[in-house]
């Protein structure tokens, strides 16, 4: 069991360092990761087509990329951190399934997430299918839960602004709260948290 600060290596000299550290600290307060990985590098980019990317080869992570363009550094980083967690908890080589799609610990979350509004992105049917895939919905739920539970006024303000702007990458607070609880319970079921979360009977 390792703290997230030991699992990813943040860039120290980047202008993004402060915001990335805040986001990582918020995630680390909720969970760690069972892993023998070398620290996965986090690399800032200037891409305008995506807020971030998680790159991997089979079971092994390559890096986490975060764009400094677009004003979504914390959200983009946490989204990709959610992918890293999902991929490292379980990866089935033959079907390329990740934990969010098939792992028993995620089953109640999958049920709760199915009730969330399907928010379309610009693009064709293939893009919509990808955006609604379990690992993409998990990453969005993960990122929003970390911001929501962060106890960091700066991060929480970012979430409130995204919700006020009706950003398609987040859900309304009242709709999302039951799903946030299920995200937290995933950490509990996986043994990744020391928090005493009240699990529903």
Spatial contact of 39 and 7, defined as CB atoms under 8 Å apart: yes
Phi-psi domain of 122 (left: phi exceeds 0; alpha: psi -120 through 50; beta: other): beta
Q: What is the share, in percent, of the chain residues with pLDDT greater than 90?
A: 80
Q: What is the pLDDT of residues 8-47, one digit of tens each?
A: 999 999 999 999 999 999 999 999 999 998 999 999 998 8
Burial class (CB in 10 A: 0-12, 13-18, 19+), 8: buried
Q: With bands split at pLDDT 50, 70 and 90, how would you rate the model's confidence at 201?
A: very low
Spatial contact of 23 and 142, defined as CB atoms under 8 Å apart: no
In this predicted structure, what is the pLDDT of residue 194? Answer: 58
pTM for the full model? 0.93
In this predicted structure, what is the pLDDT of residue 195? Answer: 47
For the cut 90, the answer to whether the pLDDT of residue 189 exceeds it is: yes
Q: What is the pLDDT of residues 95-135, one digit of tens each?
A: 999 999 999 999 999 999 999 999 877 778 888 888 899 99
């Amino acid at each position: 069991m390792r703290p997230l600060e030991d699992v990813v290596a943040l860039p120290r000299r980047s202008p993004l360092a402060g915001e990335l550290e805040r986001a990582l600290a918020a995630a680390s307060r909720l969970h760690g990761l069972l892993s023998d990985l070398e620290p996965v590098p986090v690399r800032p980019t200037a891409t305008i087509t995506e807020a971030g990317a998680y790159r991997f080869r089979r079971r092994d992570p390559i890096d986490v990329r975060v764009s400094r363009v677009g004003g979504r550094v914390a959200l983009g980083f946490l989204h990709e951190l959610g992918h890293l967690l999902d991929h490292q908890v379980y990866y089935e080589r033959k079907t390329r399934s990740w934990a969010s799609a098939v792992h028993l610990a995620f089953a109640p979350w999958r049920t709760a997430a199915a009730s969330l509004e399907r928010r379309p992105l610009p693009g064709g049917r293939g893009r919509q299918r990808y955006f609604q895939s379990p690992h993409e919905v998990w990453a969005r739920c993960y990122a929003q839960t970390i911001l929501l539970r962060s106890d960091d006024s700066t991060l929480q303000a970012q979430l409130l602004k995204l919700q006020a702007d009706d950003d398609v990458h987040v859900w309304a607070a009242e709709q999302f709260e039951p799903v946030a609880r299920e995200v937290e319970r995933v950490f509990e079921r996986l043994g990744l948290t020391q928090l005493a979360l009240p699990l529903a009977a």
